[in-house]
Structure 1
Amino acid sequence: MPAPLLQTKLYLPRPRAGVVPRARLHGRLDGAAGAKVVLVCAPAGFGKTTLLAQWLAEQEAPPLGRRAAWLSLDRGDDDPVTFWTYVVTALRSVAPEAGADALALLGDGGPVQIRLVLTTLLNDLAVPGGEVVLVLDDYHLVEAREVHEEMAFLLEHLPPRVRLVLAGRADPPLPLARLRARGELVEVRAADLRFTPDEATAYLVGVMGLPVTARDVAALDDRTEGWIAALQLAALSMQGREDVSGFVAGFTGDDRYVVDYLVEEVLQRQPPAVRDFLLQTSVLARLTGPLCDAVTGQQGGRAALEALDRGNLFVVPLDDHRRAYRYHHLFGDVLRARLAEESPDLVRTLHRRASDWYAGNGDPAEGIRHATAAQDFDRAADLVELAMTDARRTRQEAALRHWIEQLPAGLVRARPVLANGLAGALLSTGEVEGVERHLRDAEQALADDPRARDEQELRRVPAGIAVHRAGLALALGDPAATVAHARRALELLEADHHIARGAATALVGLASWVTGDLDAAVTAYSGCLVSLERAGHASDVLGCSLSLADIQVTQGRLREARRTYEQALRLRPPDGAPPLRGTADMLVGLAALHLEHDDLAEAERLLTQAEALGEHNGLPQNAYRSRVVRARLLQVQGDPAGALALLGEAQRRYVGDMSPDVRPVAAVRARALLAQGRLAEVLDWVRGRDLSVDDAPDHLREYEHVTLARALLARHGADGDGDALAAATTLLDRLAAAAEAGGRTGSLVEVLVLRALAARAGSDLRGALEPLGRALALAGPEGYVRLFLDEGPPLAALLRSAAGRGPASGYAARLLAAGGTDAPRPPARQGLVEPLSDRERDVLRLLATELSGPEIAGELVVSLNTVRTHTKSIYAKLGVNSRRAAVRRAQELDLLSPGAPRHNHHMW
């Protein structure tokens, strides 16, 4: 479960009574048609929040009726998961029909792919509905590069019904120039926000009721330059004075000095108790009665806040019940500066009290922040260690890293739990720099006088170091070291520390997979499943099952892969809970297996069921894997264009992880292009991937090299290139030997089928049937079907010959039946497995002449379309793709002589 959200951050400020109307700025905010982003950017004290509260009240009122969501940001929102959880929750407060899947993705405790979260959210928001305004206030406090990158993605794809408002003190690092050039950006700057003389008069006279003259207003306006905060402070200082004009006449100074002076004036005019309350509570980002009581050591905090609100003393309510507030940012800054000047020792005490209160009320993040501000680093370190387990469980590694990095480096080095935790946080966020240094620090601290808040965590540090070293080795491409460190971790881990044992075992499996030791990988992943189930991490069980099934498919063990998926699907979430994340992946995996078994209806049902669950019920890879399987189904159903479109989308949705990418989407797409005869595009892909028949066999690129072999066979079929056929044959022989040695039977079956087709293309029928027989013997027990059927007529012809001989003849016959035909008797001669019909022989003889297609049709007294149909069949039976190649092949087989026999057999 994610960390609890602070609901006051989602409170939409309401316009206060007596606020100066600012119609001119409301018109600016409404902006030009098509503008989807509003930027309100100005220093503190310019009334950004007040302006937006007024404007949003108008937006929500009839006839506009736009729904407004608000999020007040702070420095703790740098963590991407935290930030986007708040954003989605804010949107759902006004658009409950959107974001449920996105929120589930963020909160399930697994690895979070923010791009997938945002894609899901944007798809929901793209559905027609009421207009929505989302305000992100104080966006300048967000510094995380990852957040800004994903925010740019959100802006680029924001649907028309949503308008985003960014308010802050500085321009955000977003593509503002591009938005501005497109007319999609409305800007309100400090110059726009300054009070005009008329607005200043309306405020001083109409709102504050001060007896000022036009000259006084002009003088104040000139000296404050319309700066609203300074004008407001001046008004407070003038209340109760007899000589208002004299005060105005003596009012000088620039912005900072004006604020200091006026705050001093305001503070000096407050009763001592109120002044002390203001200063002491200024250390708090949010103010509630109980928290203020804890910090000040006094009672009556809630009543004091309500009195400040009534007196308009720069407090901003954060809920409709007036239970939580914050100080105006500028006012708070000055209060803190004054507190630090007057009582520097008290500052630490106040922060320490705040830390204790937050830690005791279930908010470790704020407890850590205040302990750090108090420079009570031992206390902060204790709180970090206590929060570490939950931070990992809720995937807040970025926050964990930030907490630890705020501590003195020497303290982190002296506390092994922290040093090891920082190493793990770095690894989890994709960084390897510094990981080994922190692990060594942890080891040294263990050897010295280790300190830790939790003795159990301290005992687990040596095993944690080994796990992190295993992960580091894998990231650096050293699988042997990965296995060594992971096995060391397993030796050190307690028997009941199941989640850590599962992590270490999974790393062994990954390393074994990378090195091609599939049997060891299967053993490791099977052990990982046991540990994760014992730990109760059901969603991680599904993720591990996906990797295990992938390996089993590569081994050609389709039935074991099916059992892996089905066993994972038996795991059930608690009653009333949503399906486990990864459920969709299991369904997609099963769909792929049923598709291979040629059970198209069941494959369709499973894919539809997975899609109905929503992408949030899939692991990050599901977005592209589901499209790859759906594309293959479309290809089988006769929709090659739809298949290609889906594969293009799958490439864009690809998300990598630590598992090797042994079946790249681009290579799958290249095969789809080959099926459409688009050889030139495939050869471009081959060059782009720097593939060569001379490459050393590599199981990680095996799928790509098999695709290269297919391209070479297609090239030979297109123009009769004998060198391409020879190169394909040599490559396939080497691939077959490597796949067999590595136990990759799934790959071996496909390579043997292609080797048979290569022999057929070279007119070697006996040489074709030998590898085909081996492929059938390996594939039969596992129920492969589509691997054979998808090769089309050339392989069908070979299967007819194989159906009459050898131990796999029965399986060949079943495949032919699945393809819609029975096994015929073998042909008498011609050197062809599938002979030409009489009319096809007539067309073939004319193809050998100089006649054009229409002339051939005229010669035979048939339509041009009929000639084309016969020509296509001739090409298929001869295994070629061009007229020139067909003639050459016919000459090789002596099919153009008048005495060649004629047969008529049905093609697959």
Structure 2
Amino acid sequence: MPTPLVRTKLHVPPARDDLVPRPRLSSRLSAPSAGHPDRRSVGLHGSVGPRLVLVSAPPGFGKSTLLATWAATAAAAGRAVAWVSLESSERHPDTFWAHVVAALEQAAPGVGAGAATLLDDGRTPVRAAITLLLNELAAHPDGIDLVLDDYHLVDGPQVAADVEFLLQHLPPQVRLVIGTRADPDLPLARLRARGELLEVRAADLRFTGDEVTAYLNGVVGLGLRASDIAALEGRTEGWIAALQLAALSLQDRPDPTAFIAGFAGDDRYVVDYLVEEVVARQPEEVRRFLLDTSVLDRLSGPLCDAVTGGDDGRSVLQQLERLNLFVVPLDDTRQWYRYHHLFAEVLRSHLDDEAPGRAVELHRRAARWYAAHGEPEAAVRHAVAGHDVELAADVVEGCVIGMLRDRRESTVRRWIADIPAVVAHRRPVLALGLIGALMSSGEFADVEERLGDLQSVLDDPPPDTRVLVASELPRLPGAMETYRAALALVRGDLAGATAHADLAVARAAPGDDLTVAAGSALSGLASWATGDLDTAHRGYSAAVAGLRRAGNHSDVLGCSITLADLRITQGRLGDAVDTYEGALRLAEQHSEGGALRGSADMMVGLAMVALERGELSAAAEHLRRADELGEPNGLPQHPYRLRVARAGLLRATADPAGAIRLLEEADRVYVGDFSPNVRPVPAQRARALLAVDRLADALDWVREQHLGADDELHYVREYEHLTLARILLRQNALEGSTRVLAAAEDLLGRLHEAAQGGGRTGTVIETLVLQSLAHRARHGRRDEPGAIRVLEQAVRLAEVEGHVRVFVDEGSPMRSLMEALVRANPTWGHPRRVLDGFRSVPTPPAPAVQQGLVDPLSGRELDVLRLLASDLDGPAIARELVVSLNTVRTHTKSIYAKLGVNSRLTAVTRGRELGLLPDRR
């Protein structure tokens, strides 16, 4: 369920009738940047400008008014403007970015949909959602202004770091506009030096003499003398809020000159004095209304009535707006308002002075109203401000289980600090909800202690035990065991995880299908992490059955990804297809007019299977349908899985460099969960690096992961060790190191034995493929039949389910072996199908090069050099070029002489330095 949004914060404040035209500021905003006269600044209609527009000044200088006027002008000119009026309640990154993304979606439909999906999940790192948002912004062709008004209310380490990341990577057609009372924690000096910052400060915002005259005599109609206007300008120094308050105080005064003469003091004293003058002159009922409702961030008629005890809140708000008493409408229908922030601050100060302690009761009334109207976040905020922890606990307890089921864990997590442990201790349903929020947020430190406290309450309930939702009590024992199982899983205690997961299923209340599903899934995860895939599949199948009974169909689709992944590792591609297609049929049955969340992931899964079978057209079609469904119809893992699948298709169509770029994107948006990360994106990138001969970079990955050929083998790292084996084989091909080759052979032997013992046929096929290449590297043409015999075992296993890519991805060396296998078995169909897979890959044209050599390489020597950069040995190169081995040796010797080198590895390195080999980084 999406994070609740206050939609009124996403509206540009309506234009006011009492505005003074300020062409000097409009001109400043559209002028060229001083440091870079060739670039347009943040002109409303320009397409290029600074990354950041900063409007920074103390309260009361008209920042919001300027930005609102600017936004209206920009929108009228056809530019998209995303607006967020910020409040302190948005200090948490999840809430802040939810409003930012919603504003962008509203301003530029299609932008932010994928990021919103990740944020709604509640378990996705915010940075991953921002990265996806940046990609969506980059794809949007038109200009967008993102305005964050009152940014000072949310500025802090959590928000600032992510805003800086956004700012650094903004595409050129997007600008960030910040209105704030204090400079934000952003690299302003660097932006200023680069000409990427436009600043509007207090000195710019102050009213000039002409503007003071236009306001006091033109807008307000006071008819003041020039000397009085000059005196008031001098006293206020053009401070707009002070002028506005002074204008209200001057109305109907018989001697304005005397009033102006006595007007003095610094900013805060001026405000206090003028507010007192303005408020004191209002009828008592209006004055009391102002003070009582000052505790509210937002104002509506019914809410104000609940707080003040009156029955005319709506009419009073409309009256205040007509009187221009610092009331700002938040929507076009005048249902919701807010006070000018500075005005509200002073009102609250006066409330505390006049009626100490009254604000506490007013906050409590507001909390009760929000709770009754289904707005728990606002209700909790006011209950806490009203020092009513029990009321806050009641609100949280009443909604916590539902919010966790709707995946709003991040909101519940923020409430933990508001509910003291002593209060949660005697509320078992609330205590379980807070534990669930901690677990979902990855904060495990206090969970065990909280579970122990909860268990003691259930075993021996104290007299003051409180349960608001009695129907939840029976499910607590089973739910507690699921959290214990998850905690054990996080700690690597797989046996403990299995034991607690089994207890969760056994202790689940009748009809509590979600607990049964969670326990079964956790048991499956523990088995998966050990490589026992059959048991893992049974656990996840039971989880799917429980989720179906509970009606959690999107979660069924999420589990289907795991079920299919397990079958693919077992080599059972047909079963994986059946899983995905069955999930899609379920999605169609429960789509209710739109695609069910997770449908896009099923299409990506089908694309991955089609790729493995060499069905490139089918894979492309599945990915096209995934794009049509869009990231909003994907699960949290969808952004990275989609990029991995696209990378696979690019690699299969001879664009390995493009595949690497997509895998790097996939790594940036990667989202994990409790599932073991058995196919890490960096490992997939390392494999792609080999396809463009970037062995050094692949070896860097090996060092970063602390991988070694003599490591103890664990299933979770099986994919990484298979990747290491590939890297060692390539290193041997370039260096001719028998030590490296022996390490690769030993590693592959151990991996093959482990995969066979675990029934992981997909991995068995892969190890056999690599063992055949290792055998050829060891014995060459002396025992090519030995390599073919190993390869034949792989092909016979692969034939059952139609595996193709596992062979084709190994490139020319495997193609040579496969051709030999076909010659030895001319009527065998699957090897021919694999060869067709090689032929379906287009050969990219060789780039034209300027050699920069006294004696340039011939065309045939360039061909030989390119094959020296592969892992083909001499005989294989001869077969590839259809020449004799002696001819290859002659060309190689000539290449070494022309390049001034004496080994294959240095020849390849020198060739890249000279641009003779494509640098596809």
Query: In 2, Cα distance between the equivalents of 1:889 and 1:66?
Result: 63
| Residues 336-356 of structure 1, C-alpha deviations (whole Å, 9 max, x = no match) | 222222223433332222222
Q: Check whether the contact 2:85–2:149 (CA below 8 A) recurs between aligned residues.
A: yes
Which AA in structure 1 matches 2:87?
D
| Residues 705-734 of structure 1, C-alpha deviations (whole Å, 9 max, x = no match) | 222222333333334433333222222212
Match of residue 437 from structure 1: 449
Q: Check whether the contact 1:799–1:812 (CA below 8 A) recurs between aligned residues.
A: no
Partner-residue secondary structure (3-state), 2:178: strand
Where do 1:359-758 residues align within 5 Å? 359-446=371-458, 447-449=460-462, 450-572=465-587, 574=590, 577-758=593-774
Q: Check whether the contact 1:470–1:481 (CA below 8 A) recurs between aligned residues.
A: yes
Query: In 2, Cα distance between the equivalents of 1:463 and 1:872?
Result: 59
Match of residue 46 from structure 1: 61
Aligned pair partner of 1:151 in 153, 158, 163? 163
Aligned pair partner of 1:58 in 65, 70, 73? 73
Q: Residue 335 and residue 789 in structure 1: after superposition, are their counterparts in 2 closer, same or farther (change >3 A)?
A: closer
Match of residue 786 from structure 1: 805
Query: In 1, Cα distance between the equivalents of 2:501 and 2:827?
Result: 44
Residue 191 of structure 1 and its aligned partner are, at CA, apart by 3.1
Q: Check whether the contact 2:122–2:407 (CA below 8 A) recurs between aligned residues.
A: yes
Where do 1:276-355 residues align within 5 Å? 276-355=288-367
**Are 1:89 and 2:108 matched, yes or no?**
no
Q: Check whether the contact 1:785–1:815 (CA below 8 A) recurs between aligned residues.
A: no
Match of residue 848 from structure 1: none
Query: In 2, Cα distance between the equivalents of 1:84 and 1:417?
Result: 30
Which AA in structure 2 matches 1:321?
T
Residue 381 of structure 1 and its aligned partner are, at CA, apart by 0.8
Residue 383 of structure 1 and its aligned partner are, at CA, apart by 0.8
Residue 329 of structure 1 and its aligned partner are, at CA, apart by 1.1
Aligned pair partner of 1:73 in 67, 76, 86? 86
| Residues 208-243 of structure 1, C-alpha deviations (whole Å, 9 max, x = no match) | 333544444444444433332223223322333333
Partner-residue secondary structure (3-state), 2:577: helix
Query: In 2, Cα distance between the equivalents of 1:874 and 1:513?
Result: 34
Which AA in structure 2 matches 1:878?
P
Partner-residue secondary structure (3-state), 2:586: coil
**Are 1:169 and 2:166 matched, yes or no?**
no
Partner-residue secondary structure (3-state), 2:147: strand
Partner-residue secondary structure (3-state), 2:101: helix
Q: Residue 8 and residue 784 in structure 1: after superposition, are their counterparts in 2 closer, same or farther (change >3 A)?
A: closer
Q: Check whether the contact 1:216–1:245 (CA below 8 A) recurs between aligned residues.
A: yes
Task: Indicate the larger mover: 305-314 or 623-632.
Answer: 623-632
Residue 382 of structure 1 and its aligned partner are, at CA, apart by 0.8
Q: Residue 501 and residue 767 in structure 1: after superposition, are their counterparts in 2 closer, same or farther (change >3 A)?
A: same
Q: Check whether the contact 1:853–1:867 (CA below 8 A) recurs between aligned residues.
A: no
Task: Indicate the larger mover: 435-444 or 599-608.
Answer: 435-444
Residue 113 of structure 1 and its aligned partner are, at CA, apart by 5.3
Partner-residue secondary structure (3-state), 1:819: helix
**Are 1:180 and 2:192 matched, yes or no?**
yes
Where do 1:839-878 residues align within 5 Å? 878=875
Query: In 2, Cα distance between the equivalents of 1:181 and 1:504?
Result: 57
Match of residue 274 from structure 1: 286
Query: In 2, Cα distance between the equivalents of 1:868 and 1:161?
Result: 44
Q: Check whether the contact 2:155–2:185 (CA below 8 A) recurs between aligned residues.
A: no
Residue 127 of structure 1 and its aligned partner are, at CA, apart by 4.9
| Residues 855-876 of structure 1, C-alpha deviations (whole Å, 9 max, x = no match) | 9x9xxxxx77898999999966
Which AA in structure 2 matches 1:778?
L
Q: Check whether the contact 2:123–2:441 (CA below 8 A) recurs between aligned residues.
A: no
Q: Residue 307 and residue 562 in structure 1: after superposition, are their counterparts in 2 closer, same or farther (change >3 A)?
A: same
Residue 47 of structure 1 and its aligned partner are, at CA, apart by 1.9
Where do 1:749-828 residues align within 5 Å? 749-761=765-777, 762=779, 763-764=782-783, 767-768=786-787, 771-791=790-810, 794-795=813-814, 813-816=829-832, 818-820=834-836
Q: Check whether the contact 2:152–2:184 (CA below 8 A) recurs between aligned residues.
A: yes
Q: Check whether the contact 2:425–2:431 (CA below 8 A) recurs between aligned residues.
A: yes
Match of residue 16 from structure 1: 16
TM-score by length of 1: 0.85
Task: Indicate the larger mover: 486-495 or 649-658.
Answer: 649-658
Structure 2 portions without partners, runs of 5+: 34-39, 41-48, 839-854, 890-921
Q: Residue 601 and residue 110 in structure 1: after superposition, are their counterparts in 2 closer, same or farther (change >3 A)?
A: farther
Which AA in structure 1 matches 2:570?
Q
Residue 28 of structure 1 and its aligned partner are, at CA, apart by 3.1
| Residues 474-506 of structure 1, C-alpha deviations (whole Å, 9 max, x = no match) | 333333332233333222222322223322322
Match of residue 893 from structure 1: none
Q: Check whether the contact 1:796–1:816 (CA below 8 A) recurs between aligned residues.
A: no
Q: Check whether the contact 2:502–2:523 (CA below 8 A) recurs between aligned residues.
A: yes
Query: In 2, Cα distance between the equivalents of 1:682 and 1:873?
Result: 14
Query: In 1, Cα distance between the equivalents of 2:870 and 2:276?
Result: 95
Query: In 1, Cα distance between the equivalents of 2:685 and 2:3?
Result: 41
Which AA in structure 1 matches 2:424?
V
Q: Check whether the contact 1:780–1:811 (CA below 8 A) recurs between aligned residues.
A: no
Q: Residue 731 and residue 130 in structure 1: after superposition, are their counterparts in 2 closer, same or farther (change >3 A)?
A: closer
Structure 1 portions without partners, runs of 5+: 823-851, 858-862, 891-908
Query: In 2, Cα distance between the equivalents of 1:78 and 1:192?
Result: 29
Residue 38 of structure 1 and its aligned partner are, at CA, apart by 1.6
| Residues 518-564 of structure 1, C-alpha deviations (whole Å, 9 max, x = no match) | 22211111111112222222222121111222122222222222222
Query: In 2, Cα distance between the equivalents of 1:653 and 1:166?
Result: 26
Query: In 2, Cα distance between the equivalents of 1:737 and 1:888?
Result: 41
Query: In 1, Cα distance between the equivalents of 2:87 and 2:717?
Result: 47
Match of residue 25 from structure 1: 25
Match of residue 919 from structure 2: none
Q: Check whether the contact 2:614–2:837 (CA below 8 A) recurs between aligned residues.
A: no
Query: In 2, Cα distance between the equivalents of 1:874 and 1:241?
Result: 94
Match of residue 910 from structure 2: none
Which AA in structure 2 matches 1:22?
R
Partner-residue secondary structure (3-state), 1:389: helix
Which AA in structure 1 matches 2:650?
L
Which AA in structure 2 matches 1:21?
P
Partner-residue secondary structure (3-state), 1:287: coil
Query: In 2, Cα distance between the equivalents of 1:18 and 1:407?
Result: 46
Query: In 2, Cα distance between the equivalents of 1:730 and 1:403?
Result: 54
| Residues 610-648 of structure 1, C-alpha deviations (whole Å, 9 max, x = no match) | 233323333333333333333333333334444344434
Which AA in structure 1 matches 2:359?
V
Q: Residue 95 and residue 778 in structure 1: after superposition, are their counterparts in 2 closer, same or farther (change >3 A)?
A: closer
Partner-residue secondary structure (3-state), 1:571: helix
Residue 83 of structure 1 and its aligned partner are, at CA, apart by 3.1
Residue 79 of structure 1 and its aligned partner are, at CA, apart by 4.5
Residue 309 of structure 1 and its aligned partner are, at CA, apart by 1.4
Partner-residue secondary structure (3-state), 1:697: coil
| Residues 83-124 of structure 1, C-alpha deviations (whole Å, 9 max, x = no match) | 3333233334333354444445555x5744545544554444
Q: Residue 255 and residue 211 in structure 1: after superposition, are their counterparts in 2 closer, same or farther (change >3 A)?
A: same
Partner-residue secondary structure (3-state), 1:570: helix
Residue 15 of structure 1 and its aligned partner are, at CA, apart by 2.9
Partner-residue secondary structure (3-state), 1:545: helix
Q: Residue 457 and residue 307 in structure 1: after superposition, are their counterparts in 2 closer, same or farther (change >3 A)?
A: same
Q: Residue 13 and residue 789 in structure 1: after superposition, are their counterparts in 2 closer, same or farther (change >3 A)?
A: closer
Query: In 1, Cα distance between the equivalents of 2:307 and 2:863?
Result: 92
Aligned residues: 849
Aligned pair partner of 1:140 in 152, 161, 166? 152
Q: Check whether the contact 2:647–2:660 (CA below 8 A) recurs between aligned residues.
A: yes
TM-score by length of 2: 0.84
Which AA in structure 1 matches 2:640?
Y
